[in-house]
Amino acid sequence: MSYEKEISRRRTFAIISHPDAGKTTLTEKLLLFGGAIQVAGAVKSNKIKKHATSDFMEIERQRGISVATSVMSFEYKDALINLLDTPGHKDFAEDTYRTLTAVDSVILVIDSVNGVEEQTRKLMEVCRMRDTPVIVFINKLDRDGKYPFDLLDEIEKELNISLHPLSWPINMGREFKGVYNLYDKSLQLFTPSQKATEDNTVPITDIHDALLSEKVGQRDAKQLREDVELLEGVYGELDTSAYLQAKVAPVFFGSAVNNFGVKELLDTFIRIAPEPQGRDTDKRHVEPNEDKFTGFIFKIHANLDPRHRDRIAFLRVCSGKFGRNVFYHHTRLDKDVRFSNPYSFLAREKDVIEEAYPGDVIGLFDTGNFKIGDTLTQGEQLQFTGIPTFSPELFKELVNKDPMKTKQLEKGIMQLTDEGVAQLFTQHGGIRKIIGCVGDLQFEVIQYRLLQEYGASCAFVPLAFYKACWITGDKKAIDDFVRFKQGNVMEDKDGNLVYLAQSEWFLNTERKNNPGIEFHFTSEFKTAMEK
């Protein structure tokens, strides 16, 4: 297959949602259709031994939530799909934000019962910042939820995006009978708790066909015809270019847990979703069809397999062809590296690959060379941009509860903070360690993983800091500031100075009193300084 065809058949996307909207369940069902798995896992039930494929960490299985992005690749029809299942919980939003830099489009899952929720709004803001094309999947139609037209109005108003329904439900809750596909004029009949197959798809070229009444009943057929007439009058044909420009979001209805409405979503997705897109660097814009390889690290995960203490860096291929055992240039370290066992993923399952193309997400075995945002090229000195580290909102001091395991604790906290789930700030030559997180649950995950994966026992002491700001500017001004504010100035893992402000008032006061110093809320300032 030619290089151009390999690129054009790839679709790389993330599934995002508020917690419990059914995101991980939808992921399972997409994998079922792709033939990647044979049995869907129960995300929450402790009675069922088979757990969700994408929840591969032990704490995820225990808590029934996703706390790290999972990467899964599978083939469906002629397309190669790279699917990234992200954490829904707000405490792990930073992992999700970074994942969105590695995808070309998004499927946003909304609970039909709860409608638009807090995390849904935040995630949509990130998609809008990057003009990421979005498809909306309204889930849990098997429950009594909000009226479909009301849901569309709520989503448009709350998320500030134009919608275009491509499927429409026939009733909901106990009366739910199926979904009519507006895109290819077919009816999917609802069969609870079974894998949806071609057997319960009824092609209906004319919605006035008597077959519709025969299948769903006279009353519901009449209601569906009225709804479809209204929808076609209001929305007309889908403008695919508007979707690709992130101006319009196609909408599908279904029930992921019952495997329903998922096939319509997947079939339409591979037809209209964008092929691998170009990316900006500090030097130029990189297009996927360029000859030479480029890619960037957007996620690092230590101990994917606890038995082997492995550390995997997840790389998005941006251009050219990646090859096994080929030397590539690590631009930050300015050295050449090669990889004998690059992986493709089905969550924790790994397969060694010989090559990868733009749009692919691959795993690289890492001995400590990589940080999030690192760039690999075929010799060119450039750095991909737009992969920031954000200022944390909660701060706690790390306390070692077992001095005999100091080395294990040091190694563990270094590796876990490399993953980007938290930030490490040190003081007094690294003796005092402060962890900064977006949410409280992250501290629980770090404590659990330090004990389970490194055998290190620790405690966290809360600190009353408001925000962490990276500081740059005039050397003398910086030196004076550090001398007067010793208790509040730390170093991050890269040796950059960070000011921990006690409150918004203190921060504003310091900014006013120190005009020679700049206070930065994301790590993007590093890229700006290097230009």
Kindly list the domain boundaries of the chain, sorted by start residue: 3-272, 279-377, 394-530
Architecture of domain 394-530: 2-Layer Sandwich (3.30)
- Residue 273, class by beta-carbon neighbours within 10 Å (0-12 exposed, 13-18 middle, 19+ buried)? buried
**At which residue do the structure tokens 């998609």 appear?**
127
CATH 3.40.1180.10 given to domain 3-272 = no
Least Cα distance to 255 among 112, 137, 107, 141 occurs for 141
Least Cα distance to 314 among 354, 350, 270, 277 occurs for 350
pLDDT by position in tens, the chain (length 531)? 688 999 999 999 998 888 788 888 888 888 887 765 544 333 333 332 333 444 444 544 444 433 345 678 888 888 999 888 776 445 455 667 778 889 999 999 999 999 998 878 878 887 887 889 999 999 999 899 899 999 999 999 999 999 999 999 999 888 888 888 887 788 888 766 555 455 566 777 778 888 888 888 899 999 999 999 999 899 988 999 999 999 999 999 998 888 888 888 998 999 999 999 999 999 999 999 999 999 999 888 765 555 545 678 889 999 999 999 999 999 999 999 999 988 876 544 567 888 999 999 888 888 778 888 899 999 999 999 877 677 787 899 999 999 999 999 998 898 888 777 788 999 877 789 999 987 777 888 889 889 988 899 999 999 999 989 999 999 999 999 999 998 899 999 888 999 999 999 999 999 999 999 999 887 665 544 444
Angle between the N-to-C axes of helices 440-454 and 406-418, in degrees from 0 to 180, rounded to the nearest 10: 130
Pairing, β 105-111 against β 79-85: unpaired
What three-state secondary structure class fits 19?
Answer: coil
CATH class of 279-377: alpha beta
> Is it true that 279-377 and 394-530 share their CATH fold?
no
Q: Can you give the pTM of this predicted structure?
A: 0.78
Ranges of H-type helices in 206-284:
210-216, 218-235, 240-244, 262-272
